[in-house]
Amino acid sequence: MATTGQDVVGETRAFNARMARILGRFPPLHKIDDVALARSADGPWATPPRLPEGRDRTVPGRAGDVPVRVFTPPEVTGVYLFLHSGGRVVGSAAYQDQQLWDLARGARVAVVSADYRLAPENPHPAAPDDCEDVARWLVGTARRAFGTDRLVIGGESSGAELAVRTLLRLRDTDGSHRAFRGAYLAYGFYDMSLTPSARSFGEDGPLVTTPVIRWLMDRAFPGMSPEELRDPSISPLYADLHDLPPARFVVGTRDPVLDDTLFMAARWSAAGNATDLEVVVEAVHGFTMFPIEVGARELARGREFVARCVLG
């Protein structure tokens, strides 16, 4: 495990405090009853721009076509399947255009961002079904569609959980998970019944807090008991993790799901899988989305990891 960010901890703390003051003027997610309103409530942030380099298309899925957003750089050495954040309730494949285009060019990979179905309209297992269907489409058609079958999967927050869930589903059905050479897993949720850090974090923090996590879980997994939520088919932290690809885990020390990453990385490694874990001092949930040094560094390291996996 590497602990990083000590040299810029002052900037990170100052940004956290400034963000908390700004967000304090807006209602937190768990106090918005209308999910549609929650999805449209950008708070202090403007809607991210859609880049012309992104192309919208669909791929076949068991419940109908699954929308995806595709970024194809001039040179393609591999394909990266990206699964967006949002607790399976909010978020979109259209909100990361600049980040994904930078990744596509920097790692020389085509990026396919899946716009999986959201809860509560489409509760579990709609999201993992869509992600699995897109992954299977890539396994079968990436060489024809992009000129390469070198695949990597990854995501942030709930997207990291869905990436793990997708690998487990592919492994447990036909072994096609071996088409994926790596997994990039940023500050993921892996225990839907809540790890100790998620339970004890409280309400004092920007963006994601214990009440926000509970609000998301109640909508993504309605009516499920804690015991049901700990089923391996729901919470991948409890799954058999053997025979999975190399993974990069990253999380901040000010993240309520810190334990999720620490526990999952330990189990990933104990199962015999190559594991890279980085813990960033004072970084909050979603820190790679913000204009701070630790975020910029991790985006660069993520691009390097994806590039290495494709070429390895």
Q: Taking the CB of residue 208, how many other CB atoms lie within 10 A of it?
A: 24
Q: What pLDDT is recorded for position 149?
A: 97
Q: Taking the CB of residue 6, how many other CB atoms lie within 10 A of it?
A: 10
Q: Global pTM?
A: 0.96
Euclidean distance between CA atoms 226 and 42, whole angstroms? 31
Euclidean distance between CA atoms 23 and 27, whole angstroms? 8
Q: What pLDDT is recorded for position 153?
A: 99
Quote helix, strand, coil % in the chain, to nearest 5.
Answer: 45, 15, 40
Q: pLDDT over 70 for what percent of the chain? A: 98
Euclidean distance between CA atoms 226 and 234, whole angstroms? 11
3-state secondary structure of 248: strand
Between CA 173 and CA 150, with CA 58 as vertex, the angle to 5 degrees is 55
Region 220-247 average pLDDT: 97
Over the stretch 50-70, which tens digit does the pLDDT of each residue have? 999 999 999 999 999 999 999
Region 124-140 average pLDDT: 98
Over the stretch 141-168, which tens digit does the pLDDT of each residue have? 999 999 999 999 999 999 999 999 999 9
Rounded to 5 degrees, φ, ψ at 65 are -65, 140
Q: What pLDDT is recorded for position 46?
A: 66
Region 270-282 average pLDDT: 98
Q: Look up residue 58 and give its DSSP letter.
A: E
Question: What is the rounded average pLDDT for all residues in the chain?
Answer: 95
Residue 44 reports pLDDT greater than 80: no
Residue 204 reports pLDDT greater than 90: no
> Across the beta sheet with 2-4, what order do the strands follow?
2-4, 275-280, 247-252, 180-186, 151-156, 78-83, 109-114, 66-71, 54-59
Cβ pair 116, 83 in contact under 8 A? yes
CATH superfamily of 2-311: Alpha/Beta hydrolase fold, catalytic domain (3.40.50.1820)
The domains of the chain are located at 2-311
Q: Which of 28-42, 80-94, 127-141 has the lowest mean pLDDT?
A: 28-42
- List 78's β-bridge partners, or say none: 109
Joined together, the tokens standing for residue 203 give: 């309400």
